[in-house]
């Protein structure tokens, strides 16, 4: 049942992305409304899919790569939708939805098998720690998109060659604000994720910090974003630099998610 | 045919030089020309538009020849032009061409700067004036409303008003792309000049907070500062005041550079890296071209801005093709309506509508009365037929009786509205309860 729902969500993501890209190309207002509605529907289907998976496997579905990446995509979608409450950023959807769709494809290609929960993961901290960490990734992806959009828009303004993006993307100021807000939320969640993780580690493994590769890389990622936020407040690392930092930080976050699990050995590695 | 009774006479920036147009300029009050037009025999409906780029009359007349002559005489009465010159400088459209002309004007496709938004407002004002004088009737009312909705359609479905079409607007548009909202931002004006002042005015209209004015002569700076309610500073102060401002517009006659990269670089830190938009409209240039390579500094010189405007203009020309397609479509729709504005088609439409209602109701009733014999069914049908025919008898008679042409139009328009035979001019939601 949850598999069927997953296929449905994947299809909904592909269609929504197509709708956003059509809106990007054609700038047809009707298409924009269609795309928004489709994304909302996609978000709802995906939520139902995750709940169904939860009922099927009997524990929080965040323990395999398939489950974690699907939840990652879900966080992006709802992070994006939560922003839409407060303000609109033109054509943000055309950048965000492809990323969510790619994640869903990765989730689709990884094993859907249901694992028995290893004893170390049988804890109430599992849903808390894992979901917060993945939601942090969701908002950091939004910051990444804002950074990419900023660099594209800035290049056209600096080079005075107005092409695809100048009229389609919002002002540099709006993109920088978007980057800042996304990083601020993502960073707070990440801090909370690391904190809950270390409390859980104390309970499960006896000490707060192990310098296990996942922990180390999470710390590196955290430091990148901490530097970005700090420098923004003190010496005004804004706009272009903030955009670049958000992109670098996102690469580090992805490495923490996958690189560590597949390339480096560690006690976190049973997630995969 | 009603279509051929719609006519437009006028001059615009394409057909006549300004020396001719200004002779036709009707100053201020628009009641007099409208009243004069209404007094022309055979001129059933009319409307009069006078802007700096065009003077034109749109009118409906069944008589044509004499009326056209009279309208023409009215329009060129005050001008010192020979018949031949009038022919050369003016245009005359009739029927479909007149409808298309109005739509093109409304959609700003006939403007000097294609896509500029003011014309629609001017058109609406002209219509309000005409309506106040009661000079428009059923045809022009509908035609003008249609023209407004065509203009709206063109604006939403094409990007005709997209890019800025003048240097000062291009500067404002760029500033908005860089800063988002311009409220609370500060501008520094170095040197004076028409274009610089125009750009400053546009920026102030967008909510700019404060203007600093620097000039070689402090006196000139002070005068300018007063007009913009800003502050005057001297030229040597310029660099040290850069950290306070967000936009700099420079247009001095100086041969030397006013701002250099090395002077601004250390100031960016002091500005906390807030972006700086530099506009250099001086020739030779005032601002160091290398400034553009600094982070968060955006430098545009006069050539860059001219390029932006040129690109926008060609973009608009491309969009105009799509807009003309919309106009053609709407002209056809309007013609369709005009053709239906005759007694014959109107009677046919009412009959069709009533018969459809009758059949629908009969089918509903007979479906519930299954026990009726064939004969009874016939009787019920007969009853329905005769009720419909009796009800329609008087309206039909009312339509068919002879009367003056303009009265007939009123009658047709009223009846068509009563039976809801047309879409509303906006083309949607005909029923408003």
Residue B297 placed within a domain: yes
The active-site residue, picked from B30, B43, B46, B52, is B52
With a pLDDT cut of 90, the percent of chain B lying above it is: 24
B190 and B295 assigned to the same domain: yes
Say whether A173 and B181 touch across the interface (CB within 8 A).
Answer: yes
User: What CATH number should be reported for the domain holding residue B62?
Assistant: 3.30.460.30
Q: What's the first-to-final CA gap in chain B, in angstroms?
A: 34
pLDDT grade for B160, boundaries at 50, 70 and 90: confident
Average pLDDT of the segment spanning B76-87: 84
Residue B194 placed within a domain: yes
pLDDT grade for A270, boundaries at 50, 70 and 90: very low
Say whether A240 and B295 touch across the interface (CB within 8 A).
Answer: yes
Among residues A199, A13, A32, A22, the alpha carbon closest in space to that of A104 is found at A13
Which are the contacts of A211, defined by CB distance < 8 A and separation ≥ 6? none
Contact yes or no for B11/B32 (Cβ under 8 A) = no
Does A86 or B373 have the greater pLDDT score? B373
Residue B356 confidence (pLDDT) = 92
pLDDT at residue A120 above 60? yes
> Can you give the residue range of the structural domain that contains B30?
3-161
CA–CA distance, B386 with B277 (Å, rounded to integer): 79
HSE-up of residue A246 (Cα within 13 Å, Cβ side):
37
pLDDT at residue B62 above 90? no
* CB neighbour class for B19 (10 Å; exposed up to 12, middle 13-18, buried from 19): exposed
B400 and B371 assigned to the same domain: yes
Domain boundary among B161, B187, B215: B161
Number of folded domains that form chain B: 3
Residues of A in contact with B176 (CB under 8 A): 171
B45 and B101 assigned to the same domain: yes
Residue B196 confidence (pLDDT) = 80
With a pLDDT cut of 70, the percent of chain B lying above it is: 96
Contact yes or no for B104/B146 (Cβ under 8 A) = no
Q: Residue A113 carries which DSSP code?
A: P
The distance of B187 to chain A (nearest Cα, Å) reads: 17
Residue B433 confidence (pLDDT) = 35
B245 and B262 assigned to the same domain: yes
Q: Which residues of B37-75 are buried (b: 16+ CB within 10 A; e: fewer)?
A: bbebebbbbbbbbbbebbbbbbbbbeeeeebbebbbebb
The distance of B431 to chain A (nearest Cα, Å) reads: 24
Mean pLDDT of chain A: 89
Among residues A115, A153, A106, the alpha carbon closest in space to that of A262 is found at A106
Residue B76 confidence (pLDDT) = 86
Partner residue facing B273 (CB), from A162, A166, A236: A236
Which are the contacts of B184, defined by CB distance < 8 A and separation ≥ 6? B207, B209
Residues of A in contact with B156 (CB under 8 A): 29
B43 is known as an active-site residue? no
pLDDT grade for B275, boundaries at 50, 70 and 90: very high
Among residues A23, A41, A44, the alpha carbon closest in space to that of A33 is found at A23
Sign, CA dihedral A198-A200-A203-A205, equals negative
CA–CA distance, A159 with A154 (Å, rounded to integer): 8
Say whether B180 and A237 touch across the interface (CB within 8 A).
Answer: no
Q: What is the pLDDT of residues B318-338, one digit of tens each?
A: 888 889 999 999 999 888 888
Secondary structure (3-state) at B184: coil
**B236 prior amide bond cis, ω within 30:** no
B144 and B181 assigned to the same domain: no
Residue B334 placed within a domain: no
Residue B430 confidence (pLDDT) = 38
Say whether A157 and B298 touch across the interface (CB within 8 A).
Answer: yes
Most confident option among A58-67, A242-251, B298-307: A242-251
Domain boundary among B134, B161, B188: B161
Say whether B174 and A241 touch across the interface (CB within 8 A).
Answer: no
B281 and B344 assigned to the same domain: no
pLDDT at residue A265 above 80? no
Partner residue facing A239 (CB), from B156, B177, B275: B275
Contact yes or no for A239/A249 (Cβ under 8 A) = no
The distance of B105 to chain A (nearest Cα, Å) reads: 24
Residue B425 placed within a domain: no
Residues of A in contact with B269 (CB under 8 A): 235-236
B151 and B175 assigned to the same domain: no
CA A245 to mean position of chain CA atoms = 16
B156 and B42 assigned to the same domain: yes
Domain boundary among B130, B161, B192: B161
H helix count then E strand count, chain A: 9, 0
Q: Which residues of A253-265 are buried (b: 16+ CB within 10 A; e: fewer)?
A: bbbbbeebbeeee
B207 and B245 assigned to the same domain: yes
Residue B432 placed within a domain: no
The distance of A172 to chain B (nearest Cα, Å) reads: 5
Residue B427 placed within a domain: no
Residue B181 confidence (pLDDT) = 87
| B interface residues, A as partner, C-beta within 8 Å | 156, 159, 162-163, 174, 176-181, 269, 271-275, 292, 295-296, 298, 300, 304, 307-308, 311
HSE-up of residue B220 (Cα within 13 Å, Cβ side):
13
Residue B1 confidence (pLDDT) = 55
Secondary structure (3-state) at A197: helix
Residue B316 placed within a domain: no
B154 and B54 assigned to the same domain: yes
pLDDT grade for A268, boundaries at 50, 70 and 90: low
B130 and B226 assigned to the same domain: no
Say whether B180 and A167 touch across the interface (CB within 8 A).
Answer: no
pLDDT at residue B70 above 80? yes
Residue B332 placed within a domain: no
ipTM attached to this prediction: 0.85
pLDDT at residue A137 above 50? yes
The residues spanned by each domain of chain A are 1-117, 119-272
CA–CA distance, A145 with A99 (Å, rounded to integer): 9
The distance of A266 to chain B (nearest Cα, Å) reads: 42
B209 and B348 assigned to the same domain: no
Average pLDDT of the segment spanning A80-95: 85
Instruction: List the single residue in A with minimal CA-CA distance to B295.
Output: A240
Q: Which long-range contacts (CB under 8 A, 24 or more apart) does B379-385 make?
A: B384/B358, B385/B358
CA–CA distance, A251 with A141 (Å, rounded to integer): 10
HSE-up of residue B56 (Cα within 13 Å, Cβ side):
27
């Amino acid at each position: 049942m949850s598999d069927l729902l997953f296929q449905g969500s994947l299809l909904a993501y592909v269609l929504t992305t197509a709708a956003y890209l059509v809106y990007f190309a054609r700038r047809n207002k009707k298409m924009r409304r269609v795309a928004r509605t489709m994304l909302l529907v996609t978000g709802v289907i995906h939520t139902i899919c995750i709940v169904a998976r939860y009922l099927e496997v009997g524990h929080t579905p965040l323990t395999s790569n398939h489950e974690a990446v699907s939840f990652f995509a879900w966080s992006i979608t709802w992070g994006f939708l939560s922003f839409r409450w407060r303000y609109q950023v033109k054509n943000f959807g055309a950048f965000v939805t492809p990323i969510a769709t790619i994640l869903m494809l990765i989730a689709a290609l990884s094993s859907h098998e249901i694992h028995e929960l290893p004893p170390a993961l049988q804890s109430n901290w599992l849903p808390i720690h894992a979901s917060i960490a993945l939601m942090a990734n969701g908002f950091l992806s939004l910051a990444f998109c804002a950074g990419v959009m900023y660099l594209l828009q800035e290049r056209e303004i600096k080079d005075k060659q107005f092409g695809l993006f100048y009229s389609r993307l919002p002002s540099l100021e709006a993109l920088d604000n978007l980057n800042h807000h996304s990083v601020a939320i993502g960073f707070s969640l990440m801090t909370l994720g690391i904190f809950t993780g270390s409390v859980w580690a104390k309970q499960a493994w006896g000490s707060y910090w192990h310098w296990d590769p996942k922990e180390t890389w999470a710390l590196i990622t955290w430091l990148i974003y901490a530097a970005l936020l700090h420098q923004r407040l003190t010496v005004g690392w804004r706009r272009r630099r903030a955009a670049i930092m958000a992109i670098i930080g996102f690469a580090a976050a992805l490495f923490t998610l996958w690189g560590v699990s597949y390339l480096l050995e560690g006690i976190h590695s049973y997630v995969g | 045919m009603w279509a051929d009774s719609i006519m437009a006479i006028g001059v615009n920036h394409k057909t006549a030089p300004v020396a001719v147009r200004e002779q036709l300029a009707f100053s201020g009050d628009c009641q007099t020309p409208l009243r004069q037009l209404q007094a022309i025999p055979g001129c059933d409906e009319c409307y009069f538009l006078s802007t700096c780029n065009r003077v034109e009359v749109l009118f409906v007349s069944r008589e044509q020849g004499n009326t056209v002559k009279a309208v023409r005489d009215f329009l060129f009465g005050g001008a010192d032009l020979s018949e031949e010159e009038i022919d050369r400088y003016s245009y005359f459209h009739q029927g479909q061409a007149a409808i298309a002309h109005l739509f093109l004007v409304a959609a700003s496709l006939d403007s000097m700067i294609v896509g500029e938004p003011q014309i629609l407002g001017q058109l609406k004002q002209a219509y309000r004036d005409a309506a106040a004088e009661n000079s428009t009737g059923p045809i022009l009312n509908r035609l003008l409303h249609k023209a407004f909705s065509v203009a709206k359609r063109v604006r939403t479905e094409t990007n005709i008003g997209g890019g800025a079409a003048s240097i000062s607007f291009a500067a404002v548009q760029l500033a908005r792309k860089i800063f988002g909202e311009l409220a609370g931002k500060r501008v520094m004006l170095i040197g004076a000049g028409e274009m610089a002042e125009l750009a400053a005015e546009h920026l102030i209209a967008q909510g700019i907070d404060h203007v600093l004015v620097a000039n070689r002569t402090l006196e000139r700076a002070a005068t300018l500062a007063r007009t913009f309610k800003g502050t005057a500073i001297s030229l040597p102060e310029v660099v040290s005041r850069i950290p306070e401002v967000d936009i700099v517009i420079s247009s001095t006659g100086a041969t030397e550079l006013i701002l250099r990269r090395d002077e601004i670089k250390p100031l960016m830190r002091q500005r906390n890296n807030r972006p700086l938009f530099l506009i250099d409209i001086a020739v030779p240039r005032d601002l160091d071209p290398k400034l553009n390579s600094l982070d968060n500094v955006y430098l545009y010189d006069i050539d860059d801005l001219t390029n932006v405007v040129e690109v926008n203009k060609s973009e608009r020309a491309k969009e105009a093709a799509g807009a003309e397609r919309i106009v053609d479509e709407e002209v056809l729709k309007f013609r369709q309506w005009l053709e239906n504005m005759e007694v014959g088609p109107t009677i046919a439409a009412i009959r069709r509508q009533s018969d459809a209602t009758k059949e629908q109701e009969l089918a509903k009733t007979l479906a519930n009365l299954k026990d009726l014999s064939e004969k009874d069914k016939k009787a019920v049908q007969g009853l329905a037929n005769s009720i419909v025919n009796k009800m329609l008898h008087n309206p039909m008679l009312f339509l068919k009786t002879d009367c003056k042409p303009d009265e007939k139009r009123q009658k047709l328009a009223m009846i068509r509205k009563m039976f809801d035979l047309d879409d509303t001019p906006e083309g949607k939601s005909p029923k408003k309860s």
